[in-house]
Amino acid sequence: MKLKPHQTVLFLGDGMADEPVAALNGRTPLQAAHTPNMDTIARNGRSGTMLTLPDPFPTSSDVANMSVLGCDLTRELCGRGPLESASQGIRLGADDIAFRMNLITVDAHGILRDFSGGHISQPDANAAIALLNAKLGTDKIRFYPGVSYRNLLILSGAEFSADVTCGKPDDNHGNPVAHHLPRATTPAGEHTATLLRHLTTRATDILSDREANGIWAWSGGKAGAIHNICQRYNIRAAVISAVDVINGLGACMGMDVIKVQGATGYIDTNYEGKADAVLKALADGYDFIYAHVEAMDEVSHAQDLELKLKAIEDFDTRLIGRVLKHAPAGTAYAVLPDHPVPLATGKHTRTPVPVAIWQPGVAPDHAQTYDEPTAQHGILGLLQGPDLMNLLLGNRQ
């Protein structure tokens, strides 16, 4: 029997999944945290896991969120740079290569100490980007401010290529920056890699008197052809996030971007504002709302157990709980991370993430809580590719 379509809210807790922690008596942070609202979704719904970072793709959030939203990574993956450009309304030309560019902190020995430049404030980040443009910018080299440490470098010209490999800065804490500079993957990328290495060196001199005293360009690419999720499922969809990569991905997929004042991409984000934005989007008739929170990812990279527990509980109570309390009856819900970030390493892993889906009219399985071990025994099994979106939205086709 074909089910009546429901309005659906997907709560995405970036980096929320983890591994057993000795300080928690072998429990994961999700097991240890007080999460009555995620547990409610699991208890009234069905659980399972999802592979969001398959080999051989990078273990980055653009890959993971594209997986969650049902993209074909072999055809649609374009890099974070183009997605974040789309979020900022920057139209890339045919010869433009956009790179995500972190403002970072490097010590006197050239060791990466903070991929976020001390979670640089927005005014300080804007000032740093303005200085880089003044010193290094040309008609072919342009720096754009984003949110805090998350910025953009765009190279314009037929001589530039996306055939460059750049490691993820959050995977390289404690490593020498000089050992992880951009490298060409083909002869066509040599010129671009050489320029990026030059800009990295020069930026260290230019920003030497600041806490965020360096740059790290990575995940570059050209504007790609990503499918329109609204057309695929005959829906009206919205995305709510503080960070450009998620908003850009949503925009590229035909989703309306709803901005929330005070959304920071960190633990001080405006959870209540995001919840109210979800509720307004439901009232405005959106069929699918992608509510993304970055905080868990940030504190997991910092390997801060106390803050991870707090971020999970804030996500559960201040966002999910507020929505569940006030949303119209008959709303459907899903909750999952985009990828794990174990506190033990502070790095993304390819382990499938826990998923819970509550759709009115669909019988629940036996799960009573939302966490990694419970999800492994859920009736949904292992989801991959478009499985999740088809479960949530496929009855509209």
pLDDT digits (tens, 9 = 90+) for 253-284: 999 999 999 999 999 999 999 999 999 999 99
Q: Judge whether 43 lies within some domain.
A: yes
CA 316, chain centre distance (Å): 18
Domain assignment of residue 293, given as a range? 8-75+227-396
165 and 136 belong to one structural domain: yes
Q: Are residues 381 and 362 in the same domain?
A: yes
Give the CA diameter of the chain. 66
Per-residue pLDDT of the chain (397 residues; tens, 9 = 90+): 345 579 999 999 999 999 999 999 999 999 999 999 999 999 999 999 999 999 999 999 999 999 999 999 999 999 889 999 999 999 898 899 999 999 999 999 999 999 999 999 999 999 999 999 999 999 999 999 998 999 999 999 999 999 999 989 998 999 999 999 999 999 999 999 999 999 999 999 999 999 999 999 999 998 888 999 999 999 999 999 999 999 999 999 999 999 999 999 999 999 999 999 999 999 999 999 999 999 999 999 999 999 999 999 999 999 999 999 999 999 999 999 999 999 999 999 999 999 999 999 999 999 999 999 999 999 999 999 999 999 999 975 4
Q: Which of 221, 242, 262 is the last residue of a domain?
A: 221
Residue 3 located in a structural domain: no
The answer as to whether 1 is a domain residue is: no
**285 and 168 belong to one structural domain:** no
**Other CB atoms within 10 Å distance of the CB of residue 323:** 23
Q: Of 184, 204, 221, which residue sits at a domain end? A: 221
Which whole-number Å values give the CA distances from 195 to 120, 136, 145, 189, in the listed order? Answer: 25, 11, 20, 10
Query: Is residue 244 a part of any domain in this protein?
Result: yes
| Alpha carbon distances (Å) from 30 to 11, 260, 372, 383 | 15, 26, 7, 20
Asked, for residue 298, whether it belongs to a domain, the answer is yes
Tell me the residue ranges of DSSP E strands in 95-235: 96-106, 112-114, 141-147, 150-156, 164-165, 183-184, 214-221
**5 DSSP assignment:** P
Contact partners, residue 347, CB within 8 Å, separation at least 6:
59, 170, 171, 301, 341
Q: Is 109 exposed, middle or buried (0-12, 13-18, 19+ CB in 10 A)?
A: exposed
Give residues with Cβ within 8 angstroms of 134, minimum separation 6. none
228: helix, strand or coil: coil
**CB-CB contact of 249 with 69 (8 Å):** yes
| Mean pLDDT over each residue of the chain, to the nearest integer | 95
- Upstream peptide bond of 56 is cis (omega within 30 degrees of 0): yes
Domain co-membership, 107 together with 236: no
For 328-374, the pLDDT digits (tens) are 999 999 999 999 999 999 999 999 999 999 999 999 999 999 999 99
> Can you list the alpha helix ranges (DSSP code H) found in the chain?
29-32, 36-44, 61-68, 73-76, 80-87, 122-136, 190-206, 229-233, 244-252, 271-283, 295-301, 305-314, 322-326, 372-375, 387-393
Q: What total number of domains does the chain contain?
A: 2
For residues 164 and 183, state if they share a domain: yes
Helix or strand or coil: residue 106? strand
Half-sphere exposure of 388 (CA within 13 A, CB side): 37
* Domain-terminating residue out of 157, 187, 221: 221
Cα(332)–Cα(41) distance, integer angstroms:
9
Pairwise CA distance, residues 313 & 316, whole Å: 5
Are residues 242 and 260 both part of a single domain?
Answer: yes
The verdict on 206 and 160 lying in the same domain is yes
CATH code, domain carrying 287? 3.40.720.10
Which helix (H) or strand (E) segment holds residue 9: the answer is: strand 8-13
CA distance 29 to 372: 10
d(CA 219, CA 80): 5
